[in-house]
Amino acid sequence: MKEINEDDVLAYDPFEGDFGDTGDRTLKDKMVTARKGGECHMCAGNIVPGERIRSRSDIFDGQMMYFRWCNACCRAMADSWEDGGLALEERTSMGSEMRSK
């Protein structure tokens, strides 16, 4: 399996079109090594400590919001530039299924 191009991950805007109020802004958006587990914002799967993940902090509607994406969803973000977003659709569908249970 090829290495994830982290620049391609960060170039993908997971909230494209969702922001627009004058106070909405991104404070932090970077690739990090997970120190603790948690839930992926996209697929609702587990984030494993030690894996490379995307971490983002935004102010949206006046509230601080935090988001983390697992390594597999980061790979889908990077691949979206070549596969037309197919892997992203699969990961998002997984999240919808997990959350509906």
Domains of the chain, CATH where assigned: 6-100 (3.30.1740)
Residue 1 scores a pLDDT above 90: no
pLDDT tens figures, 84-98: 999 999 999 999 998
pLDDT tens figures, 28-87: 999 999 999 999 999 999 999 999 999 999 998 889 999 999 999 999 999 999 999 999
Q: Which of 17, 21, 13 is nearest to 63 (CA)?
A: 21
Q: C-alpha distances in angstroms, 65 versus 25, 57, 62, 75, 99?
A: 10, 6, 9, 23, 19
What is residue 22's predicted lDDT score, i.e. its pLDDT? Answer: 80
Residue 19 scores a pLDDT above 70: no
What is residue 3's predicted lDDT score, i.e. its pLDDT? Answer: 87
